[in-house]
Amino acid sequence: MMKISTLNKNLDDYNIPLAIIGILENPKDDPIVYDEQSNLWKIIRETVELGDFTGKKGDLSVIYSKEPNGPKRIMLVGLGKPEKITLESIRKALGNASRKARDLDVKKVGLSVNHFTRGDFSITELSETLVQGIILGSYQDIEYRTKNLEKYKFIEELILFSPDYSDDEMKSGAKSGKIISEAVNLCRKLAWGPANYITPTRLAKEAKKLEEFGVKTTIIDRKEAEEIGLGSYLSVAQGTEEPPKFIIMDYGSEKQGAETVALIGKAITFDSGGITIKPGQNMEKMKADMTGGAVVIGAMNAIAKLGLDLHVIAIVPATDNMPSGKAYHPGDVITSYSGQTIEVISTDAEGRMILADALTYAAKHYQPKAMFDFATLTGAMMIALGEHAIGYFSNHDFVVDKLEEASKTSGEGIWRMPLWEVYDQQLKSDVADMKHTGGRPGGSITAARFLSKFTLDVPWAHLDIAGAMEQSSDKDYNPQGSKGPGVRLIIDVLRNWKA
Ligand code: BES
Ligand code: MN
Ligand code: ZN
């Protein structure tokens, strides 16, 4: 974990291995570049005047200083045109800078907050964003490697400098920035971990770790799930030897008058497809079919550490989806926790089976004001929106407003999809109350319509993160691997809940 601190000082005359400084496009016209009088800025002006550094978005230059009392290296980060600067553009620029810094093998990095204050935002927001850019962008997981470990560098310490702005504001932003980034990284680590390590049992253990921060956990195992009738969840779990865990986390139940919000995360720890087995190509990616569960565990971690004034319930139905002599079959009729019967068409449409019971469980036992589920639910979502947006479905405008607002503040792109009743035609069954799939047309929508039957009319949103789950190569603040999609979004929904 990176150590983060703040200093009410000027970075120019602080001896540190690397200083990161944000500079606008056309730096020759930037008054800040010419106002500063220290030796460090003389070197920066020389670089700018040579034209080597343009300040364009994505531009990065490292220059060296021989000043004994100043930074040894200076990394100039292009911020682009001033009118286009947003917190998200700063987060992206710093994400790229962080990997460069990490790979230079500097252990300690200083950031000049003064040289990023170019937009319409507070010092707290800016500090949070700067910290996020660095921690998120430099993330890497080497837990499963044994060779050449010295090749992998890590930034150990980050200091935010400003002689001008309130240390309290910087500190508060640095603190939330660290909590939120570490929550995203926890999600990424679990999501991208191999299925032989990240089992339902391991996820239950991760949930239990949150007890340290005041989260109460209840783990329902196979036997108890049978006793209480989680039939739809168990239909998927019946095919695997790996013990399933229906994980419940409860934060803030003691808070007087706090509203209750429920989070639900799909956690198929490996999705082979079951009897409707998937083709071998890319099947290894299905280790990440528990990303929704990891989002919820990550988010709960941050919610508890931030001490939000809310009652948050999180449910993570976890199981492998495997073919075996005990596995559920296409054509089976399953009785869900809600009592409604489901005709199974494809055992590969397992996510909605486990979510159905989790949604009903949350609605029935906690009567939340709203529910949010996160799921790598459909390949069709990847086809519809690609990797840059989370597609979501909602039955209630107030939930939509919360999400759209949080999308703006977090920078996570979301797009509302239709949840129209006419799509139910595709879910008509000849033998049961409904089928669980409706064919290829509108595959993400029929999946959402199916889920809507299990919400007991609680205001709800379903976020299909199948497209957004992965970053194929290092980009901005997302290194190759899991993006931890939706963690920052849902944290913003919850911390702005009353606003
Ligand atoms: N986990 C998959 C969806 C998925 C596919 C996520 C690729 C990420 C990348 C889900 O369980 C699934 O298999 N869905 C099927 C549904 C179909 C059988 C109706 C799909 O999308 O093909
Ligand atoms: Mn599947
Ligand atoms: Zn799946």
Residues 101 and 19: their CA atoms lie apart, in Å, by: 10
Residue spans of the domains in the chain: they are 3-164, 188-495
| Exposed/middle/buried for residue 472 (C-beta within 10 Å: 0-12, 13-18, 19+) | exposed
Q: Which of 278, 285, 369, 475 is catalytic?
A: 278
Ligand 2 centroid – CA 291 distance (Å)? 13
Ligand 1 mutation pick, 289, 450, 463, max ligand atoms within 8 A of CB: 289
User: Residue 365's CB: how many other CB atoms inside 10 A?
Assistant: 12
Q: 407: which 2 tokens?
A: 């999308």
Q: Is the CB of 350 under 6 A from ligand 1?
A: yes
Which atom of ligand 1 is nearest to 350's Cα? Answer: 11
Please report how many Cα atoms fall inside a 13 Å half-sphere around the Cα of residue 68, on the Cβ side: 0
Per-residue pLDDT for the chain (499 aa), expressed as one digit of tens each? 999 999 999 999 899 999 999 999 999 888 888 888 888 899 999 999 999 899 999 999 999 988 888 999 999 999 999 999 999 999 999 999 999 999 999 999 999 999 998 778 999 999 999 999 999 999 999 999 999 999 999 999 999 999 999 999 999 999 999 999 999 999 999 999 999 999 999 999 999 999 999 999 999 999 999 999 999 999 999 999 999 999 999 999 999 999 999 999 999 999 999 999 999 999 999 999 999 999 999 999 999 999 999 999 999 999 999 999 999 999 999 999 999 999 999 999 999 999 999 999 999 999 999 999 999 999 999 999 999 999 999 999 999 999 999 999 999 999 999 999 999 999 999 999 999 999 999 999 999 999 999 999 999 999 999 999 999 999 999 999 999 999 999 999 999 998 7
Residues 441 and 430: their CA atoms lie apart, in Å, by: 20
Task: Provide CB contacts within 8 A for 357, sequence distance 6+.
Answer: 230, 231, 232, 233, 317, 336, 337, 338, 454
Q: Is the CB of 426 under 6 A from ligand 1?
A: no
Query: Contact at 8 Å (CB) between 187 and 482?
Result: yes
Q: What are the two backbone dihedrals, phi and then psi, of residue 311, each rounded to the nearest 5 degrees?
A: -105, 115
Query: Contact at 8 Å (CB) between 399 and 370?
Result: yes
| CATH code for the structural domain at 3-164 | 3.40.220.10
pTM: 0.98
Ligand 3 centroid – CA 378 distance (Å)? 7
In order of 34, 83, 292, 301, 449, the CA distances from 295 in angstroms are 45, 33, 5, 10, 22
Q: CB within 5 A of ion ligand 3: which residues?
A: 268, 271, 289, 351
Residues 95 and 89: their CA atoms lie apart, in Å, by: 10
- What residue owns the CA closest to ligand 1's atom 13? 348
Q: Which of 99, 178, 188, 352 is catalytic?
A: 352
Please report how many Cα atoms fall inside a 13 Å half-sphere around the Cα of residue 95, on the Cβ side: 22
Ligand 2 centroid – CA 421 distance (Å)? 24
Ligand 3 centroid – CA 266 distance (Å)? 8
Q: Which ligand is nearest to the CA of 444?
A: 1
Q: Is the CB of 437 under 6 A from ligand 1?
A: yes
**What are the b/e assignments for 155-181, b being 16+ CB within 10 Å?**
beebbbbbeebeeebbbbbbbbbbbbb
The domain made up of 188-495 has a fold known as: Aminopeptidase (3.40.630)
Active site residue 278: yes
| Exposed/middle/buried for residue 261 (C-beta within 10 Å: 0-12, 13-18, 19+) | buried
